[in-house]
Amino acid sequence: MKHIEKPGQFAMLFFSAFLLAGTKASAETVLSDEAEQEPVMQFNCGIWGVLCSADMPFRAASTKGIHPINTGFIALGQTGTAGKIDGPGKKGNGTYRMKRNDSLEVSIIINTGYIDGQMTLVREPQTGADTLRFAGKLWDKDKKCWGPYLDDAGNITIIYDAKKDRGKIPWNENGKQKTERYWNGREGRTKMTIEFGGGWDHDFIRK
C-alpha cells in the first residue's frame, strides 16, 4: 500500500490562501458584472417631458426680456459641430451633431443606445415661449428593442441660471413633478452635461 503523507502546515496555509484569493476574485467578478449592467432609463414622457407637455404649466416671458435659448448650450458648439456622448453604461455612449445652435433654436442630432433622433428647442421671439420637438426613436426597456418612430412637439419650460450655469426643464407626469437638468454649457466650455431618461447624466464632449 502506497504511503500518502498528510499535507504540512505550509501546504495548508498555501491552499487556504489560494481558496481565499479565488473567493475574492469571484466576488470582484460579480461586482464587475453588476457594474456593467445597463441603467434603467425611463422615457414615459419622451425626451424632456414632450409627451406629457399638455400637463405642464405654461410660462411665457415678457416681450421686453427675451433671452437667447442657447445661452446654456453654447458648449455644444456652433452649427455643424460634432462630438461624443459619454452616457450611463455602454448603451449610453454615442455621438452628437449640431444641426443648429443660435439664439432662437438649438437642434441636436443624438445617437446613443437609448436615443436615436433629433431634439429641437425653439424660443418664440415675441413671447419667449419654449417648444420642444423630438423626431426619432427611443429604446424600449421592456421589449428590449427600439420603439416606433416618433415625431412629437409640445410646450416646455426652460429655466436657466446664467450665474450658476445650470438649467432645468420641469414637467408633470400623472400629477408628479419631474425635472431634467443640464449644466456647464455656457460660452468658453467644450464639455457639458445633460440629463435624459429620469436624471441619467450624459456628458457631451465637443471635438
The domain segmentation of the chain, as residue ranges, is 1-37, 47-206
The amino acid occupying position 50 is V
Cβ atoms 204, 191 nearer than 8 A: yes
How confident is the prediction along the chain (207 residues), in pLDDT tens digits per residue? 444 444 455 444 433 443 344 444 443 333 334 445 678 898 989 999 888 876 555 454 444 578 999 999 999 999 999 999 999 999 999 999 999 999 999 999 999 999 999 999 999 998 999 999 999 999 998 999 999 999 999 999 899 999 999 999 998 888 888 999 999 999 999 999 999 998 999 999 999
Q: What span, in angstroms and rounded, lies between the C-alpha atoms of 119 and 102?
A: 14
